[in-house]
Structure 1
């Protein structure tokens, strides 16, 4: 059930692979949510009437959820090309749902006026979970702020983990994605070796799902949209290398980073799998 305080004024910046289904889920839950993207509204099919030009998006905005790709695009949304901090006169809450360096996220508190509530809410589950409104959220922020905005998260997610103060959700997310990247690299290597050994892919994946090698990528191999992709700078496999870099940026001082560095190189070397 929606909270009347949030029925209007909710906006998603970045209506791509994750943002578009999140916008659809919010609207299905009763929120009059709007979207903004650098692509024209005509690219969004049934969602097109709800993806607005920047002036209209900014004028209605009170709660902003950013789902753009990286730090540069987040800076554009908040301070640069879109500059919603200045362009949206009624903006009261910013929710960061992109996966970014925790150092960058924590530093936002000093760059954004104190009157604006900040929550970091990166999510996990891939596009299929966004489409089915069952994302897992890692939340950072004041407990009251998170409780107040919980109706938004419940409209698009199924699992909610409050990890601590602002920035803690992002720290948890990059550590989670470091594991996801390692599982991706090793699962793909195992499947390549299985091909060369004459093992059937489906039979092996079924075995892995019920055995000690079980992991998210292997268990969802047919549903996860990027499971067979090779690395490209602008696809989800490419984003995984960015996420590993974000984890490395927040590594403890003096930490041994050899294994994460290797994982990043292995992900970058992935080729498409038929």
Structure 2
């Protein structure tokens, strides 16, 4: 029997992550009910489960995670499974609750990632990792195949807590960068010149610096696109807010992102 890694959720992030694992010579296959066309991605639960020892989940949200782990797919019950890596961005509270629902012999690692689709395609993702040190050590060959930066944040759940805080900041940068570009258009400024200025000045941020390569930079809100996912990620951060925290600013950011309209290309 040859142990195998499985990536559940082979969309814009999961598919290139699977490709990176295979490019590194690691036996891996993907599961997705929609993204077919690759010989290495299946929608057959039995085929995906065969010889599976590590499951990486990259599905959209809690509902899909429930289906993958306990529902229709029920991959948490695979007898050969020794490790589950949660790479979806979810509520830290929900992620921590999984420990009581997953058999104790299965190692749980939360490892959400950052870098957008371009970083996944180039195998240079940043992973925020939480879990037992020995469990993480055992999974490092997988992370090295898919990423470039690896941040060990602490015990299980700490990676997700770090990710939602990072994404809250990213959402803020996205909202403000889109706003200033709209204002620049109204002033008939050259977008490229302004972005070059921002990249080397105090307003520098990841979204502005990577605007021309980030695939969702011009998208408006839609429930099933990356802007919609960012709105969901802010909700995950709000779910983990300290008791009594002032959440008014994150809520404004969330509403602003949810109101974004598609941006027309402009030189």
What TM-score comes out, normalization by structure 2 length? 0.97
Residue 236 of structure 1: which of 226, 231, 237 is its match? 226
CA contact (8 A) 1:59 1:89 kept: no
1:74 pairs with 2:65: yes
Match of 1:250 in 2: 240
- Equivalent residue runs for 1:25-174 within 5 Å: 25-39=20-34, 41-42=36-37, 48-52=38-42, 53-86=44-77, 88-174=78-164
Confirm or deny: 8 A CA contact 2:227 2:257 kept in the other structure: yes
- Residue 49 of structure 1 deviates from its aligned partner by 1.1
Q: CA RMSD in A?
A: 1.1
Runs of at least 5 residues in structure 2 that lack an aligned partner in the other structure: none
Structure 1: state its 5+ residue gaps.
Answer: 1-6, 43-47
SS in 2 for 1:180: helix
Q: How far apart are the structure 2 equivalents of 1:148 and 1:222?
A: 37
Residue 185 of structure 1 corresponds to: 175
Aligned to 1:264: 254
1:212-244 superposed Cα distances (whole Å, 9 cap, x missing partner): 000000000010000000000000000000000
SS in 2 for 1:41: coil
> 1:8 touches 1:33 (CA, 8 Å); kept in 2?
no
Using the alignment, how far apart are the partners of 1:103 and 1:91 within structure 2?
A: 24
TM-superposed deviation, 1:41: 2.7
- Length-normalised TM-score, structure 1: 0.94
